[in-house]
Amino acid sequence: MPIRFVYFDVDNTLLDHSAAERAGLQDLHAAHAEAFTGVPVAQLQQTYHAASGPLWKQYAEGTIDKAAVKERRFAHTFGALGVALDPRAANAFYMARYATHWQAIDGALAAFEAVAAQLPVGIITNGFLETQRRKLDRFPVLRDRSAAVIISEETGVLKPHPRLFAEAAQRATVAPADILYVGDSLFSDVEGATRAGWQAAWYTTATDPVDAPVALRFHDWDTFAAWLL
């Protein structure tokens, strides 16, 4: 099938969210070393990650709002670790530090620009509205080269909700079957796109065999660019 429009995910596809998350939590740990006595930074990072995932799922399902995600991810983390810190203050500190660690994944922006030089491109991201807008300000090529930028909070639903993909297809002004979505999440990106009738390219470090309905599975942006262009 031809590809006439390419949408990209942002976090852990074009930008290294996981590295920024780990670094932001390391900064929190260092700033409150006394409170984290006996708690290694790796344990904080692992516990936070385990607490955050289910909350994002509830947020995607509409059972909690983003304020609850921001507060509870630290409340649950500190509760599990026995750490006496204010979750709201910790979240504010973390978010400020997290932003200082944003960086592109190796080769991702070059590949994005190479694709944008030959095909219309766009962005679809599930992150919080104000945070994702700041990321686009930090990496303006993503917004400047995109024919459509869709932040899920503005649509009222998160990936993999069909309504978000339907709106994105409308804005691409091409048939769904002619859209390629590039993302790292098998659930939100690959399954969401394929259920919408799109093609999908899966950016992943996983090496185990997975029967994923993708046109390409890759972890090197040069490989992706060579395949598409």
Residue ranges matching CATH 1.10.150.240 in the chain? 17-100
What pLDDT is recorded for position 176? 97
Instruction: Give CA separation, 9 vs 20, 36, 75, 96, 204, in Å.
Output: 16, 34, 29, 22, 13
Residue ranges matching CATH 3.40.50.1000 in the chain? 5-16+103-228
CATH of domain 5-16+103-228: 3.40.50.1000
What pLDDT is recorded for position 60? 85
* 19-76 per-position pLDDT tens digit: 999 999 999 999 999 999 999 999 999 999 999 999 998 998 889 999 999 999 999 9
The residues that bridge with 218 in the sheet, in sequence order, are 203
Which fold would CATH assign to domain 17-100? DNA polymerase; domain 1 (1.10.150)
Q: What are phi and psi of 202, to 5 degrees?
A: -105, 110
What pLDDT is recorded for position 208? 74
Contact 171, 122 (CB under 8 A): yes
For the chain (229 residues), the mean pLDDT of every run of 10, in chain order, is 96 97 98 97 97 92 91 97 96 97 98 98 95 97 98 93 96 97 95 96 85 91 97
What pLDDT is recorded for position 101? 98
What pLDDT is recorded for position 209? 72
What pLDDT is recorded for position 210? 78
